[in-house]
Amino acid sequence: MIPEFISIRRDIHMHPEIGRKEFRTTKLIIDKLKNFGVDEIITPMETGAVALIYGAEKDSACVALRTDIDALPVEEDTGLPYSSTIPKMMHACGHDMHAAMMLGVVKYLCNNRDKFRGTVKVIFQPSEDTLPGGAKELVEKGVMENPHVDAILGMHLIPDEEQVGVVQFHSGPLTTSVDLFDITVRGKGGHGSTPHLTKDPILAACQMVTLLQQISARYVDPLETVIFPVCSIHSGDAPNVIPDEARFSGIARSYVPAIRKQVTDQVFAIAKGVEELSGTKVEINHYEGYPACYNDPRLTESTMKAVAEALGEERTEKADLPYSFSEDFSYYTEMTDTPGVFMMVKAGHIGKLMPLHNAGCAMDEGAMIYGICAMITAAVDFLNKRASHQI
């Protein structure tokens, strides 16, 4: 099967589409699902698709498998013969490989229905990398019901200096939540020679930027993680004119919901204090992004054991630490209180190692077979154990 799905991956890679615009990709996926013989295809959103595959004992448990299909607004710089044909658009996060791998899982399951008991619900999700993401909307539209999902599994490839096809597991928080803050400080501009007649928004903004860094240093337990860089700041046009406003933006990440709330509360408290001291007005546009992704400990342990038995102990490992990026897979578990496991697969690299979302990111297609096998194993293991009351 592998050459077939490498070919599909390269097709998707050459024709990347941004979140909620994955029309060609969706058509390709639906055509393959029909060809492979899934039992039902549902399209809750304009792009993406959900497929049902029935094994033995259709009315037994249901496991959901989720993959993402969208690309990024990045100009590709890999030099690969199957590079993106769309200017300023690239699959720089492996979603092309994810989609092709999941199609491989679908084909296998459709051809081996006698090997599992229950239902597999396969979610080809649009817009993971483009906020607000597709997961939340799919959950709101009922993707975790009809049939009811008892557990959900996901997977992401990651570039690695050496290893290809090692499946990584981490129990508990795996990725951070994400909160975006766009902040505007409105003051009173004037001549630089008479600052006492102004309400300087630049000074107030700079004070606030500094104070925001004290959240992790002084307001949060040092054993907890808070990441909060201010990544942009804009104000003024002339060296001798104090402007009327200053704007800056930052992004906060954490692993624990209570810490996430604490950080947000502190941002608004700091803004209020800066307003009182500076005489300016601070306006905050807070965009609540993805929650932290949480792996159910019991399900993680069971899944890792099954994958290790299938691929060999050398092909699985426990991650020492969680990851600091964010993933909207978290909505499926948080919004429905469904146990889930999100696996990471080390995928080597072609040429110099580059991170995800980089124009030169080119992971090794040799990792795909291990991702496909791990997902098949995890799904079948859960359903059969659930049917025999082992989990």
Which of 299, 301, 303, 302 shows the shortest CA–CA distance to 376? 303
Does 290 participate in catalysis according to the annotation?
A: yes
Does 108 participate in catalysis according to the annotation?
A: no
Beta-bridged to residue 179, according to DSSP, are 252, 288
Q: Which residues of 45-66 are buried (b: 16+ CB within 10 A; e: fewer)?
A: bebbbbbbbbbeeeebbbbbbb
Of the candidates 323, 327, 365, 370, the residue annotated as catalytic is 365
Q: Which residue has the tokens 């903004």?
A: 205
Beta-bridged to residue 247, according to DSSP, are 184, 234
**What does the pLDDT average to over 262-287?**
98
Beta-bridged to residue 59, according to DSSP, are none
Q: Is the pLDDT of residue 88 over 90?
A: yes
**What does the pLDDT average to over 300-307?**
98
What is the per-residue pLDDT for 391? 81
Share of the chain above pLDDT 90, in %: 98
Which of 90, 127, 102, 93 shows the shortest CA–CA distance to 32? 102
Model confidence pLDDT, tens digit, residues 171-193: 999 999 999 999 999 999 999 99
Of the candidates 290, 294, 331, 370, the residue annotated as catalytic is 290
The number of residues making up the chain comes to 391
Residue 105 C-beta-side C-alpha neighbours within 13 Å = 33
Confidence band, pLDDT 50/70/90 cuts, at residue 219: very high
Confidence band, pLDDT 50/70/90 cuts, at residue 389: confident
Tokens of 55: 């094994």
CATH fold, domain 179-288, is: Alpha-Beta Plaits (3.30.70)
220-226: list long-range contacts, CB under 8 Å, 24+ apart. Answer: 220/259, 220/262, 220/263, 221/259, 224/254, 224/255, 224/256, 224/259, 225/176, 225/253, 225/254, 225/255, 225/259, 225/324, 226/252, 226/253, 226/254, 226/259, 226/263
Model confidence pLDDT, tens digit, residues 328-368: 999 999 999 999 999 999 999 999 999 999 999 999 999 99
**In whole angstroms, what is the distance from residue 157 CA to residue 212 CA?**
33
Question: Domain-by-domain residue ranges, the chain?
Answer: 2-174+292-387, 179-288
Could you tell me the pTM of the whole model? Answer: 0.96
- Domain 2-174+292-387 CATH assignment equals 3.40.630.10: yes
Burial of 301 (0-12, 13-18, 19+ CB in 10 A): middle
